[in-house]
Amino acid sequence: MGILGLNDQLGPRGQSKNDSGANGSASDRHFSVLTEESFIQLLSLERRRAERSRRQFMLMLLHVRQALQTKRDGVLQKVVLALSRSTRDTDLKGWYERDSIIGVILTEIDPANIGAALNAVHNKVGVALRAELSLRQVNDIHISFHLFPEEWDSQDKDTPADSKLYPDLLNGDRRKTSRIMKRSMDIVGSLIALILFLPLLILVSVAIKLTSKGPILFKQERVGQCGRRFTFLKFRSMHFGAAPNIHEHYVKRFISGQADPASHGGAFKLTTDPRITPLGRILRKTSLDELPQLLNVLKGEMSLVGPRPPVSYEFQSYDQWHRRRLLEAKPGITGLWQVNGRSRTRFDDMVRLDLEYARMWSPWLDVKILLKTLRAVLSAEGAY
């Protein structure tokens, strides 16, 4: 990992500046900040540590772009010096966004005194900045705090995850290129599938209407990428008005490892669910009930391939590290776990497969998963 010494990183356009006459005393020159790449890598690592240890940390961001418009080198040196004097040696400091945002990772935050810790840090940094900079320069610096793990409000569909905590997952040219390629595949693939399956969609709709009371489509709120809520569509396979209690109880036991998916019909499914209609059993066995999700894909709420989108009560049972499956990829109709054991995978293994898919993603991988899904559907292997 690259660490730039304070004097090294002050040069214009990232060039080294080793002039012995640079501002600051000799005792201050040992202060250093991480490069943007290294800081983002350490932020990712700290998230994983917090997931496993269940401890919290705070990301402090100083938006300094405006303050650096004049006398850049001198102002930047004073900002870094103020941070070094007002934060702990163990707190990681570096460029969150080069020449724009400086980040500080404040580790080991006491969950019982988060508010007090935030106020204390804010006050100490504010005092240190005012001691080094003019009032106008201080006013040009905006400070924000981002606590990890953050609360994903399950009742508010417009409150997704805090994107500032996940720059490695949500930003970057490679990520943007991959998202554009995947979205293009989703649009083309869902349009072609909707046209090809149109006669079947009409036939299933008529059959549902003739065999049971209630709407043709089953609509349910699901948790999408970064915690965004959306309306998930399926052909109705249950009696209208059936309560979710049976499924909710099973899902919570399944996620906690107390239920064996092989003995209950598989992940998130029950073989003896009394709520399912006779036609619904056929639709589920053939996976025809999933076809309306092509509309979710076309709208951009889902992808053809990706992690399965959870129900709200399922998401509330997640361990902290389970959430990553909803950060690293958009939810999909099918995925890597569906074609690797399909409905007989344990939950932790399912999450690991979702994370593996996100790391390994390529257009060819999506094609392979779609072909394997088609084969699994035709054979009805693991379907209930």
The domain segmentation of the chain, as residue ranges, is: 3-149, 164-379
CATH number of 3-149: 3.30.70.270
- Best mean pLDDT range from 41-55, 106-120, 237-251, 269-283: 41-55
Q: For the residues 52-63, what does the mean pLDDT come to?
A: 90
Distance CA 164, CA 182 (A): 23
Cβ proximity of 4 and 32 under 8 Å: yes
- CA terminus-to-terminus distance, the chain: 49
Mean pLDDT of 130-149: 92
Please report which helix (H) or strand (E) contains residue 235, including its range.
Answer: strand 229-235
Decide if pLDDT at 104 tops 90: yes
Could you give the CA distance from residue 213 to residue 30 in angstroms, rounded to a whole number?
75
For the CA atoms of 200, 206, 212, 217, the dihedral, rounded to the nearest 10 degrees, stands at: 60
pLDDT tens digits, one per residue of 320-359? 889 899 988 999 999 988 887 555 568 888 899 999 999 9
CB 153 within 8 A of CB 335: no
